Amino acid sequence: MPNGNYAYQNITISGLPGGGSTTLLRLLKEKLKLDGWRGFSGGEFMRAYAAEKGFDTSRNVHHSSVDYEDDFDRKVDYGMREKLQNQKKWILESWLSGFLAQGVDATLKILVFCSDDAVRIDRIVNRDAVTVDEAKEHLGKRYRENLSKWSRMYAEQWQDWVVAAGSRSKSDPIDFWHPALYDITIDTFSNNQEETLKIVLDAIQKKKKIQN
């Protein structure tokens, strides 16, 4: 990896829980730290905020966005977009970081997912120390609540950043994790951690659409 010779100024990592976004953030931070890259995890930030607000954090289960005020969500989200617009060498990981990077130049937008639902659930079970049924129920409920809230909050931005840009049509439903919004989509079931990391490191040296 040539020092400072990157095709992109910033990186975003998005994906639903169990897809591998947090792991990829950790690997990239370690690999690129000597060249001045920094990482930010929206999930970790929101979990710290949950503890500060008195939510039960004795278990590792992550909270739904409906537990937080709209204004706080916007503050965190727009803070990430401002970093991408005005700073360099950020690796931002959150559910919405790729959406928030729409229209921002020199930002590599990565979507990670796990094509095997059983493996994805197993990752959550091991990470959060919950049962399979608890993991399934929590993930489904959290996805529905988050999508509903963010679709309401960011309907105007969806039209401005996505529809007007031609990434999706006006008739398409809001889908913050549609592959058309991303430069790279990586299946972490088909690609292990080292392979996933290599795909990204190769991509930040050359601009090109990649599908794995």
- Report domain extents, the chain: 10-211
Q: Which sign, positive or negative, has the C-alpha torsion 32, 38, 40, 45?
A: positive
pLDDT mean values, one per 10 residues, the chain (212 residues):
75 95 96 95 67 52 66 89 96 96 97 95 90 89 94 98 97 97 97 97 72 54
pLDDT at 2: 42
List CB contacts of 98: < 8 A, sequence separation 6 or more.
12, 13, 14, 109, 110, 111, 176, 177, 181, 182
128, 135 contact by CB (below 8 A): yes
pLDDT at 127: 86
- CATH (residue range 10-211): 3.40.50.300
Vertex 194: Cα angle to 89 and 38 (nearest 5): 15
Residue of 26, 13, 7 lying closest to 186 (CA atoms):
13
Q: Cα–Cα distance between 54 and 51 in angstroms, integer?
A: 5
Dihedral in degrees, nearest 10, Cα atoms 107, 69, 143, 84: 0
pLDDT at 167: 96
